[in-house]
Structures are given as C-alpha cells and as structure tokens.
Structure 1
C-alpha cells in the first residue's frame, strides 16, 4: 500500500512538471505515510506478542501488568521486563506481584531469556515443558507458587542453567533424573513439594553444585553415596518429611567445603558416621528427629568451625564427649530427648560463645557445671527431666542475657540464687518439681519481662515477696510449697495475669480485695491453705475467670452474689470451708457453669433449681445440714422453727398434714410432667406444620436429592429420634426411594416470629461444598424462617462416643480405634488446611465422629462451626465440657488450636476408654490431667489403657504408646505447644512404621512440654 502511494505521486509530478523543491517535499511526506502504515500493521515485536499471549492466562488482581500494551513497539518498558541492546527480552521478573492463573507455553517463544523469576505468586497447573526451549536460560526461580503434577523431564537441554529454584510448590511424582546432566548447575532447590521415590544417583554428577535442597518432600530409599562426589557443595538439605531407609552415608565426609548439613526429621537409623569429622568448614549440623543410635563420636571435636550442633530427638546413648570443648565457636548444643547419661562436662561451661544449651529429657546425673553462664552469652538453658542434683549455679545470668531457664523435674536442692531476682532479661522460668528450699528471691516476681514463673512442688518457705512490677506476667505457679504469710495486696500489679496458682501452701490471712482488678485472670486456685476471711465480692469483677477454687480453707461468711456476674465461669469449688447463708440464686445466670462443689460448709436454704444447677447431683452439696432440694431432703419436709407451744392434738396432726401436702405435691408434679410432654408434642407439631402456606418450606439441595421437603417433615416424629444435643435433635428419615438420611432440627435461636437465619443460609452453602471422605456429607438444608433443618448422610454405626461409653456399645479393637483416629484427623486436617476460608469446627468430640457401616470415621455436626479468617471472639460458649481448650477460659477466642486440643481428648478416649469427665478422676480433674498423673510410672502407663482392647501381651503396645504421645501433645495446656493438624496426621500415619521402636517410659519424654503438669 505504501508503494502505491509513492508511484502515484511520482506520476503526478511528471504530469504537472513541478519544481525540484516541491518534489522533495512530497517525497518526504510519502515516506512518513509509509512508516505510519507499517507501524500500525505491526505495533509490537514477536517477544511482545508472546508476553501478551501469556498475560491472557494470568489473573492480575493487583493490576501489576497494566502497562503491557499492544500498541507499544517493544515490551522493554513493561513491568518485570528487561531487554538487551537489540530489544530482545532477556529477563522476565514477575516476582511477588500477586499473580495467579497458569503459565502459558508461549514462554518458550522468548528465545533470548536469561532470567525467569515468578517467585511468591500463586500460579497453578503444570510448569510448561516449553521452558526447555530457552537454551540461553541461566536462572529459573518458580518458588512459592502452586505448580503441580510432574516436574518437566526435558530440562536437560538447558545447558547454561545455573540456578533452578522450585521450592514450595505442589509437584509430585519422582525427581527427574535428567537434571543430573546439567553441567553448570550451581543452585538446586526442589524442596517443599510432594516428590516421592528415591534421590537419583545421577544427581552426584552435578560437580559444580554449591547448594542442594530436597527437604520437605516424601522421598524414600537410601541417600545415595554419590552425593559425596559433589565436592563443591556448601549447603545440603535433605530432611523434613522424607523417609529414607538406612543411615547417613559415610561418603558425605568427602564434602570438605560443606557449611551446612541438614538431615533432620527423615527417618535416619544407624550410628553417627565418624567420617563427618572431615567437614572442618561446617558451621551447622542438624540431625534431630531421627532414630539414630549409638554414642556421639568424640571425633566431632574436630569440627572446629561448628556453631550449631543439634542431635535431639534420637536414641543416642553414652556420655557427652569431653572433646566438644575444642569447639570454641559453638553457640548451640541441642541433645534433648535421647538416652544420654553421666555428668554434663564442666568444659561446656567454658565455651566462650555458648548461647543455647538443651539437654532435657535424658538420664544425666551430677551437678550443673558451676561456671555455666560465666561466658556472658547464655540466653536459653533447658536441663529439665534429668536426675541432676546439687544447687543452681549463681552465674547463669552473668551477662544479663538469660531469657529462658527451665530446670524442672530434677533433684536440685538449696536456695534459688538471689541473682535471678535481679536478672531483668528473664522471660520464662520453670524450676518446679525439685527439692529447692529457702525463700523466693526478692525481685523475682517483679521482673518487667517475665511472662511465666513456675516454682511448683518444691520446699520453698517464707512469704510471697512484694510484687512491684512484672507487668506482662501471665502464668504464676508457686503451689505445693511451704509458703506462709498472706497474699500481697499488690498482686493487682500483675494485671496481665491469666493463671494464679497458690494452692497447697500454708498461706493465711484474707484474700486480697485487689484480686478483683485482675481482669484477664482465667484460673485462680487458692485451695489447701489457711485463708480465713470472707470471699471478696470484688472477685466478681474478674470477667475472664473460668476456674475458681477456694476449697480447703477457713473462709467464712456468705457466698457473694457478685460471682454471678462472671459469665464464663466454668468450675466453682468452695467446698470444705465455714461458709454460711444461702447459695446465691444469681449463680443460676452463669450458663457456662459445668462443675460446682459447695460441700462441707454450713450453708442453708434451698438449692437453686434453674440454669446449670438442674444438672448437678447431691455430691456437690453434701455436708451442709441446712441445704434442701435437688437430691437432698425436700425443702417441704424441713419444719420451720417453733414460734409458740402447740397443743397436743395439733402436734399429733402435724405429721399427717405434712404427709398429705407432700403426696399432693408429688401428684401435681407428675401431672405437670405429663401435661408438659403433651404440650411439647403439640408445640413441635405446630412449629413444623402451622401456617404452611404463609411460611412455606424451602429446600436447598447441595447434590441431587430424590425427595422433597414434605417427605422430610413426615420423618420428624418422636419415634424417629436418634440423638439429642445442645444444638438440636436428630431424626432418622426413611425416604420413599429407600434412602436413609439424618435430619437435624436446630434448636431455636430467637424469639417467636423472628428469622432464625443468623447467617445460616450463607454458612450452609459453604459447608455444602465440602467434599471429603472423612467428613459427613451435608446433603441439603430446609427452612421456613422459624425452623432450620440440616440433611446429612446417615451413619448406621452411630457415634464413636456411643460405642466407647454406652453399655450397649461395641468393644472396638485396637486396629479399628487406630483407623478411626487417622481418619478423623484427616477430616479435621481438610477443614483446617484445605478449605478456603479454613473452618474451625469448635465442637470436636467423640459424639461428633460418626461411623459408617464399615466403621469408617466421618467428622460431623457443624452446628457450632464458624467460617474462619482470623481468631474470632465468640459471644457464647464454644464446645462441650471436657473438650474445651484451657485458653478459652481466659479469652473467648477460638482458632484451629482449640480444635486440636479437643481432638487430643478424643484420642485419649480411644486409648483409655474413659469419658472426658468421670467421678473416679477426682474433683476438678479431667481425662487429660488423669492420664498425666498416671503415666508418671511405667505401671501407670499400662493402667490407663482400655482393657476392652486386649491385654498388654496381645496389644501392639508400641503403636498404642505413640498414639498416646500424640494425644498428650495435642492436649498441651499452651496452644503454641500443640502441633498443627497436618502434623498430627503425619505423626499418626507414622505410627505403623515407627511404632516398633517406641518406648513405654513416656514420663521423661513428655515432661519438658509440661504434659505431665496437672
């Protein structure tokens, strides 16, 4: 077209015979027109076209690629694009741009690419094999995305590739052995995916490799000895979730340039190779959480560059080598959870750079090295759960850096050093279960950074020091000592306190009024002292209080009605005091109250009949001669005090009158009950069927249903009830097609005539999308604005709770119980990790784990579940008594860690056969605390097992013990100590393969985590 314009113009010039000057002008104009036409026909280069094609498959929510425009002649000015001098795209850097979607095959058309970075986005699908066409590529980083399926197998063509980083994706299948032929590869990271199978020996050909990471996959087989050929290697990470066969190849000792070796948590067995002594440049050696045996080689003293040495969570034995004193750069020593014995070498105290020393849960004896801490760098020391004796060294905080000091469960004696009272850096101090004596050092309760102080079960004496500071102290336990004197009035200075345990001492005087200022206090335990005063009404101001135990003192006066203001109070124990007067009716208002004990006082009057009091039996009130009602003597039989002498005939007539009145009362009561049930049936019928035309039923199906709302309503009769709970009644429904469903009628949440939706529709729509083999299917929901019905698949074997605890329940063998534990964990793991947004169940218990015809477990009942983004404060009690996590006592925040605690209780039910709460446990003791107490000895461990599973000789005890350990980890008091549900699934799944090496002696294994602390 441009040529036609020029020809035409020349003809016109010839015809009209214009001047030379005009000819030049016209020629210039035509050239410009030609350039414009050509430019409009092809506005962007071929690289730009490829990029625009790629962009069509990218979801760009942040509009980071908005300047990628078709009208640009080159893409060199586009976001994330760099070009060479010929305008060829050489770098594609789209890192951290909030991009998603898929990566198009058009990337293979960018033939000049040298660098590709897609790090920190959300790309899904396959990684295109067309990347192998980029024969100039040197760096490929697709880490922190969601690429899945097999890794491309033809990358061996990328002969110039130096960096390959695909960390944290969802790749699966075997590792591509072709990668072993990349001649220039220096950095190689395929960790954090789901690769399986062995490590290809061909990877030993990557002679220029300096960084190699395959950790966090599902690799098996042996670690190939060929890895020892990578003599340029500086960083090697092969651990975490891999499960190798065999031990550490001694050939790794040839990697003399190695700086960091991490083989943690990958099922290694055998002994520690002495050949590792040759790694003289090594600064970090991580071999924790394996099954390594034997002793620590003294030759490791030759690792002169070593700064971190972690051999924890293995089965190492023998003594700690004296040769470690040669490691003058050592900063961290972590040998906890092994079977080491003997003394702690005194030379360890002389290491100049030592900061962290973890030796807990071994069999160490002797004294703690006297000079420990003198180097001035020590900030974390944990020697708990050993058999150490002697005194606590005085210089642990010499440099003012000590933050964590844990020496609990030893045989330490003597005084607590006064220097600790002046150690301003202290955050956590746990010295419990020793034989320490003398006073609590002045200042220890006033340290500004202190968050936890535990001195339980020692022989400390004297008074409680004045509390001047400690503004962030949350946990104070100085119970089970010989402390005397009164509780300081300035205890209110601990305004962040959540737990205050002063029980079982010799404290006297009054309970300070200032305790009422502790608004975050969740547990107050003053039992077993000699406190003699009235109960301060100010305690009613502790709005977060869930457990109040003042039993076993000498308290007098009336029970303050102000206690009724504590809306979250769960446990109230005022037994064995000298209290008088009535039980305040205001306590009926506490809907969370699940356990009370008023026994052995001098209380009088009627026992409250409403609220939670209707569920408490007589054991909570015995020993009070003046109390009446409940299961005690009826109040009507208690004669009023005499006012005036009576005539003889009136005296004889009185018993008859009382008897007649009592009989009449019984008849009225029976008649009232019958009337109530009759009206209740009429009410239910009316609720379900009245105003059918005005309030029609709406059926919402989440999958194909062969029935309608009318057929569902016909099933809601008394004879079909198969369960009742706080959230509603469950009916068994036989549909005309023969299908059996479970229909749950939710309890009313509002007044008559008010909509009961409360987010019901939106929530059930989301729950209806859940598809997992271990979660009960929500088939649909039915509503008429007054009543909400949920339709579930029917589980013929009922709930786990019924089978474990009902007299008619089936005796489940261990294999079935183990299977149920894994399946239920998988269901909860799906809710916590795979739903978007994630879902917290909020009422995990054995009655909410249902079993199908094959005894497959299905997590059920989302009546209390909430769609979850962040921690949510709930206005009502979440969960069932015995399953509620301790932290819910002082904060109404629930998260996935609350579910994990509840699941730990379910695991304990499976192992012990016990209910979460049983009278045999004792007052205020649940199954978690009961198990912790029992497993202090080997015999106690066997005592907790459910005999219905079989005898100790027939059971696979190694498996049972590991499940018991997981249960106690899940039910840790502190949420931070509980594993994630994904880790719970992993641990339970590993029971079968790791169980044979389990030990019965769990007490030392669990004490450090506080799991035995009652």
Structure 2
C-alpha cells in the first residue's frame, strides 16, 4: 500500500516535470533564437547612420554571442531582448523591418533622433510591447493601420514627426493604453468619435497637427484623463464641449491656438484638480465664467488673445494657488480688482490691451511674490503705487500707453530686482528717480512720451547692464555728461524731443555696443565730433533738428554698418563727404535744410527731397548742375599759382613713386609681413580639432591667412579662401573680438564640438577648428558661388537665378533651419538668418552658414556686433525691441525677409521704400493694389511664364513668417511643408495669364485676403 502510494507520487512528480519541460521548450521554441536577435539588430544598424559611433559595439563576436551587453539593449531572464533604447543618439536613416523579429520587446525608445521614412508595419507583431516612444524624428505617412493589435501597449509616443493622414480610429481597441501622444505631426481631418472609448487613458496629446471639424463631446467620457493637449495649429472652429466638465481628474488642459469659438463653458468649473488652463489665441467670446473660481488647485490661467468681454469676476479671489494670470489682448472692462493683491502666490499678471479703467490697486505690491506685471494699453488713471516692489521680486514693470499721472515713485529706485521698466505713453512728471538707472539688474528703461523733467542722473555711469534706454519726448534738459560713454552694454540710446543743449560729447561713442543713437529735436550745438567714427556698430544715427555747425566728418565713412543717417535741419556747412557713396549699407539718409555746398556723392538711389534746403549743393538729380573748374584770369598772381601747381605736381609724382615702391615691396613680402603683425597669435602652439578625416594640418590652415585670400568680412570675423596641398578648397573664418591674453575659452570648445557634429545637406559643414587659446579659426567647406545676398544684390550679376532655382533655394534653406530648430538637441537658434548667411555651392544648392556662432560669442563674454547677437538690420523681428531676446520665432521672421528678397530681388532696407519702411512693410503695401504683385517681383528672373500659384504660395509663406506677433508665425517644420507644396500646385497658370491674375489680386475677400489675414 505504501509502496503503491510512493509509486503514484513519483509518477505524478514525473508528469509535472514533463509538462513543465514541455512548456519551457515550447516557450523557447516560440522565442527568437539569440543568434537571430543579434542578426536582426545588425540589420537594423545597417540601415542607420551613426556619426557619433554610439553603436560601435554592435558587432558579432561569434555565432552565439548574445547582444545583451550592446549599447541600448536590455535582455530579460531568457537572454532575449526586451528593451531597445536608442534615445538621443543623433542617429538617422530608416528603421528596418527586422525590428519586428525581436518578439519579446517590451520597450522601444527611438526618440530624439533623425529617423525618416515609415514606421515598419512589423511592429504590430510585437505582442509583448508595452512602451513605444518614437518622438522627435522625421517619420512620415500614417501609422500602421493594424496598430490596435498591440494588445499590451500602455505608452504610444509619436510626438514631433511627419505623420500625416487621418488619426487612426482603432487605437481605442488597445484597452491597456494610458498615454497617447500624436502631437507635432500633420494628422488632418476630425478627431474620431471612438477616441471617447479609451477606458484607461490618462494622457492624450493631439496638439500641433492640422485637425479640423468639431471637438467630439465623447471625449468627456475619458474620466481617467489627467492631461489633455489639443492646441497649436489645429483649427477646430468649434466650441469647447460642455462635457469636458466631466473630466474631474484632469490636471492640465491646453487648448491654445486651435480655432475655438463661442463662450467658455461654466462646466469647466467642475475640474477641481486642474492646475493649468491654457485657452489663449482663440476666438472665445463672452464673459469669464464666475465658476472658474471653483478651480482652487489652479496655478496657471491663460485666456489671452481672445474676444472676452465683461469684468474680471470677483470669484477668482478663491484661486489662492494661482501663480500666473494672463488675460491680455481681450476686451475686458471695469477696474482691476483689489482682490488681486490678496493672491499671495501670484507671480505673473498680464492684463495688457484691454479696456480697463480706474486706478492701479494701491495694495498690489503687498503681494510679495509679484515678478512680472504688464498693465499696458488700457485706460488706467491715477499714479503708480509706491509699493509695487515691496517684495523685491518685481522684474518687469510695464505700464505703457495709459493715462497715468504724477511722479515715478522713488521706491522704484530701490527695486534691485527690476530688469525692465516701461512707462512710455503716459503723462508722468517730475524727475527720474535716484537709483533707477544704477539698479544692478536693469537692462531696459523706457520713459518716452511723458512730461518727465530734470536731467539725466550722473549715476547712469553705474548702469552696467543697461542696453536699451528711451527718454524721447519729455522735458529733460541740461548737457549730456561726458561720462555717458561709460555704459558698456548700451545698444539703443534715444533722447529725441527734449531740451538738451551744449555740444555732443566725443565720449558718447566710447559705448562699445551702441547701434542706435537718436539725439534729434534738441538744442545741441557745436560740431559733430569726428570720434563718432569710433561707433563701429552704429546702424542708426539721427542728429536732425538741432543747431549743429561745422562740416560733416569724413571719418563717418568708417562706420561699416550705418544704414540710417539723418542730419537734416541743422546749420552744417561744407561738402557732403564723397566717401558716403561707398557705404554699402547706407540706404536711408537726409541732409536737407543745412548750409551744405558742392557736388552730392554718387549715391545709387535717392529722393531729391533729402538734399533740399541746401541751395549750394549741385549735381546728381538736382536741377542745378555743378560748374566746371574755373579758369583763372591772367593776373600778376598767375606766376605764383603756376609755381604752386608745379610744386604740388612734383610732390604728387614723388609720392606716387614712393607708394609704387612700397606696393611692390609689400606684394613681394606680404605673407611675411602679415604673419609678423600677427605673430602674437602664432607664437603659441596651435591645435587642430577635426570633426572628420582631414588631409591637412594647422600649419596649412594658417598659411591661408593672407590678405589676397580674403573673400568676406563681417561682424563674426574675416573669411579666407584656402587651397590645401591635396587640392581641397576650404573657407577659414578668423573669429573677431579675440586678442592677446585669453586664458580659457569660456566653453567655446564644448560648443564648437556640438556644432562640429551636426550633419545636414543644407548646412555648411564645419570641418575643424584651429585654436591657440588666443585666436580661433573655423574651417568650413568652401562654397564657390558665395552667398545668396551677393548673388541677389551685387551690381555684377555673375549668376542668374530663375524662378525654379529661387524656389529650390528657399526650400533647401528652410530644411537647414528646420534641422537646427527641431532635430538638434538642444535646439540651435541661428540668431542671424539673412541672405548673406545662405551660401550657394557649385550647383546653386543652398547651405545655411554661421549657425550657432552668435551663442558662442555671447558665451565668451566678448563684445560682438549687433549682427552676432540679435540679427542684422532689416531682418530683426519686431519683438526684439520688447524683449531684447531672440528665439526660434525670431529666426522665422528673418527667414520671411529672405523669402521676400528672393521674390523681389531687393535688400531688406531700400531708400525707395520710404523713411522707416522696410521690405516687410513695403511688400504688405504693394500687394494691396491690383498690379502690386507684378510690380514687386524681381524682373531679372523673367516675370512672364512664372507659375502664378507658386508665387502666391511663396508670398503667403513669407507674409506668415514675418507676422508681427511671434505666435502667428509658423514653425520651421510648417514652413518646410508649405514650401514643399509649392511645386505640386503647378497647374500651368503663370503670370502671363493676366485674366487669372486680375481675378486673384482684385478680390479683397478671396485668396489675397487669406494671404493677409495673419499679418
């Protein structure tokens, strides 16, 4: 009996072991062999470009080597691959379908690379997959239609790619999904109603697409949802569903800039856990619902840029956690509520551009956390409260364009946190408070168009960070102190329309970064100081409507970036220096109403009105011709005149012989002389850092630094052409602003390493960098056709650009900028996009140049030109004057200007546009007329036969890019997509089709209106 039980027990154990073995062997049989997984990864690598060699260890040591130790690969218990993490490795290429062979994958992270093409359809065979992140690449087309077969998937992140077509309607069938991010793509059509059936969804991101239609009320069924993003470039043109009030677990709601209409539903007051509500940049109307006062967890509320009316509801007093309230650019009325002073956590209050009246609450400053305050462009009266900076955290105080009176509070002179104070366009009086201009962080002071009196406090010499100062049109008087030149950071200095007197101190141009100087409408007397030529970065100079005497200093020809010069309505005498005609940047000037005489310089183009009021001026387009040289009458002085002539002629001849000899000597020994005068930068050893295989050394790069090899100069430095011993031609840029004694590079090496790793067909390749810690040389690939600016604007047209070539250049340059903005981590803002920084190779393909260099200059603490820091004149976005900062939206504005250059063939600033008018304003004005589009096109590309639709599309992109508001400008990805659509639109219509053109430009409410709607 006992033996039988033992036998049965043994048989049972044996059966269990057999079954277990069968299960294990079955599992092993269904899994992918290690060798096959290694081969699949090798096949995946074969389709990729790995410039930084992250996947160098992906190689087969022997036939059975598992890949578990390879970079980015994680294996499970059975040594099968369960995770593949290739995030942020600068990889590019196409993801192989072999990825589908890794059957046990649970986690795939391919984000922040440069992958292109489609996602392999084999992904749907990965039955174990729970996490898929392919964000920030360039995947295109639609998602695989049978994605819903991934039954265990929890996270699907496809953000920031090029996916298009409709949203996949069957995603809801993946019941395990908790995180779906499809934003930043080109999905179109409406949101599927089925998306209301996600049962476990906590995150839904549909923002940044091209979705239309109505927002489904069914999304209100997603009661587990915690984050909902639907804004930016979608255009729903619908109301916010009242059912969104059911999303009681929602923490973040972002529906900005997506075409919302109607009123804000009061049901949103049910979202008690909400901490962020962004509804700005829509067409919402009606009052702000009082029920929003129930959102007691709210920290950020932005309802700006809508059409909201009524008053600010008193119930918002209950939002005690609120840190940001932005209601600007609406039509709100009434007064600013006193209860805003009781919101103890409020840091940012933006009420700009409404219809608010009454006074600024006296206790607003008792909120000790207040940091940014903008109440400008309302109808506020009364005085500025004296305790606005009681918490010593106030950084921005912007009260522009109101009806404020009284003095500027003295307490602001003790607000050490202040960085910007903008009080222009009021009726403020009294003196400038003591201490205001010497605050340790102040960089912008605007008090223009008030009644401020007194003098500029002498303490201004301590304003070390001040970069923008505007005291125009006040009652300030006295002389300018000589110490005014001690402002190291000042870039814009405006004191027009005051009562300043005395002479202009020569020290005014000791300010190393000064680029805009307006002294007009005062009582300055005396001569224009010749030291004005020391202002090497000066672009705008206005000294009109003063009492200046003497001659115009000829030294002013050495101001290389001067584009605006107004010396009118003074008492200047003598000639206009002929050298002014050599200033290539000078496009707007006015010498009228002085006592000038002699011939006018041979300017390229001008209006004769800029010379009127000077009866002794002659030549050019003026009605009075210059007299011929006078023939002296024979008199007893003739012999002395003849003797003087002979002496002068002899001296001139001797001087010419001497100069010829020196010229021969210099030509013969130029290289030695050049190197001698640059010996300080040659003494120390040079290091060549290569970013790819190079066939030359630092010595051979240095040999390029010859005057004969110079091919360009700019604010960033001097560029030389160099031919290496192998025959390779390179461009060598010697960076400006460097000198003896630099002990370290302030991060230059690290930054240049980043730029050296960038690879894109439309970006000039940085081959290497030479440095001896005193001088830096950048070595680039050489572009034989120079810059787009040279080709478009040079008097000698060596290269002609037809319409197709210009379209291609626009598309290629857009691709280059798109790469910098979207595919680099971190993103690179160019900061100086202009036609001169778009270079053309031998086939006229465009390459963006000088990217990232502005940041390098800024980081090295060296003073650089305006073009290095914040753009070049004519390309600078309008918000620069407001923020003094540039970002990717500033690049996009500049690119819009480049597109207008391509269309018109004109520079960003031309005299024919009129005073103060740039190419953007001129184009907007021209297209208002029936023949305006024909008139603005560059005739050199052959107007007849150009496809009409293409012109209109490129013009529309240019106008969108150059919108006044940054939020109205598209991203570079959108620009690329819009320009890519240009050629497919070609249907045979051309600018020779006059009837179609007349219909197009003649209808103000048709397509032309669509072009203008955003500008």
TM range (shorter): 0.5 to 0.7
Deviations 1:825-874 (A, max 9, x none): 98985675379999998459xxx9xxxxxxxxxx9x99997642506799
- Asked if residue 868 in structure 1 is aligned to residue 849 in structure 2, the reply is yes
Deviation (angstroms), 1:542: 0.4
Shift of 1:336: 1.2
Task: Please give the residue correspondences for 1:58-207 in structure 2 after superposition, counting only pairs within 5 Å.
Answer: 58-70=48-60, 71=62, 72-207=64-199
Counterpart mapping for 1:199-598 below 5 A: 199-466=191-458, 467-598=460-591
The answer to whether the 8 A contact 2:815-2:976 is kept is: no
- Aligned to 2:213, the other structure's residue is in SS state coil
Determine the C-alpha separation between the residues in 2 that align with 1:875 and 1:82: 50
Q: 1:67 to 1:864 in 2, by over 3 A?
A: closer
- Alpha-carbon distance, 1:284 to partner: 0.5
Superposition deviation, residue 381 in structure 1: 1.1
Superimposed CA distance per residue, residues 271-306 of structure 1 (whole angstroms, 9 cap, x where no aligned partner): 111111110000001111111111100011011000
Aligned with 1:338: secondary structure? coil
- Offset, 1:50: 2.8
Q: Report if aligned partners of 1:112, 1:134 keep a CA contact under 8 Å in 2.
A: yes
Runs (5+) with no aligned partner, structure 2: 1-31, 638-719, 722-726, 732-760, 765-786, 855-863, 934-951, 982-999
- Helix, strand or coil for the counterpart of 2:78? coil
What is the match of residue 601 of structure 1?
A: 594
Cα deviations across residues 890-940 of structure 1 (Å, max 9, x unaligned)? 99x9999578358469989999x999767895xx432689899xxxxxxxx
Distance 2:313 2:469 in 1: 37
Which of 55, 76, 86 lines up with 2:45 in the alignment? Answer: 55
Where structure 1 has 5 or more consecutive residues not aligned to the other structure, the ranges are 1-41, 647-748, 760-764, 769-777, 800-819, 849-858, 933-940, 951-959
Contact 1:541/1:566 (8 A) holds in 2: yes
Query: Who is 1:624 aligned against?
Result: 614
Q: Is the 8 A contact 1:387 1:411 kept in 2?
A: yes
Instruction: Say whether the 8 Å CA contact 1:928–1:971 is kept in structure 2.
Output: no
- Classify the secondary structure of the residue corresponding to 1:603: strand
Paired residues for 1:901-912 under 5 Å: 903=896
Preserved contact between residue 874 and residue 919 of structure 2 (Cα < 8 Å): no
SS in 1 for 2:332: strand
Structure 1: distance between partners of 2:216 and 2:36:
45
Q: Deviations over 1:394-414 (max 9, x none)?
A: 222221211122211111111
Q: Provide the rounded CA distance (Å) in 1 between the counterparts of 2:231 and 2:966.
A: 26
Which whole-Å CA distance do the structure 2 matches of 1:406 and 1:539 have between them? 33
CA distance in 2, matches of 1:261, 1:886: 30
Give the conservation status (yes or no) of the 8 Å contact 1:181–1:202: no
1:616-650 Cα distance to aligned partner (Å, 9 max, x none): 5653333334444442644437989999999xxxx
Q: Is the 8 A contact 1:546 1:889 kept in 2?
A: no
Structure 1 CA distance for aligned equivalents of residues 977 and 501 of structure 2: 51
Deviation at 1:561, TM superposition (A): 2.6
The alpha carbon displacement at 1:482 in A equals: 1.1
Mapped to 2, the partners of 1:113 and 1:899 lie a distance apart of: 41
Distance 1:197 1:578 in 2: 68
1:204 CA drift (Å): 2.0
Q: Is the 8 A contact 1:334 1:358 kept in 2?
A: yes
Query: What TM-score, normalized to structure 1?
Result: 0.66
Shift of 1:489: 1.9
CA distance in 1 between counterparts of 2:1006 and 2:390 reads: 42
Q: Is the 8 A contact 1:489 1:512 kept in 2?
A: yes
For residues 590-619 of structure 1, give each alpha carbon's deviation from its aligned partner in whole angstroms, at most 9, with x where no partner exists: 333223333332334x22545x3x645653
TM-superposed deviation, 1:332: 0.6
* C-alpha contact 2:833 2:895 (8 A) present in aligned 1: no
Query: 1:411 is paired with a residue of what secondary structure?
Result: coil
Q: Give the deviation of 1:233 after TM superposition.
A: 1.2
Query: How far off its partner does 1:942 sit?
Result: 11
DSSP-derived class of the 2:437 partner: helix
SS at match of 1:124: strand
Secondary structure, aligned partner of 1:363: coil
SS of residue paired to 1:216: coil
* Alpha-carbon distance in 1 for matches of 2:78, 2:188: 44
CA distance in 2, matches of 1:920, 1:86: 74
Q: Does 1:833 align with 2:825?
A: no
Aligned in 2, Cα 1:914/1:944: closer, same or farther, shift over 3 Å? farther
Asked if 2 retains the 8 angstrom alpha-carbon contact of 1:843 and 1:865, the reply is no
Secondary structure, aligned partner of 2:541 = strand
Structure 1 stretch displaced more, 552-561 or 530-539: 552-561
Distance in 2, matches of 1:920 and 1:219, equals 40
When Rg is computed on C-alpha atoms for both structures, the one with the higher figure is 1
Kept in 1: contact 2:896–2:958 (CA 8 A) = no
Residues 863/144 of structure 1: CA separation in 2 closer, same or farther (3 Å cut): closer
Structure 2 Cα separation of the partners of residues 868 and 908 of structure 1: 18
Q: For the residues of structure 1 that align with 2:446 and 2:916, how far apart are their CA atoms?
A: 20
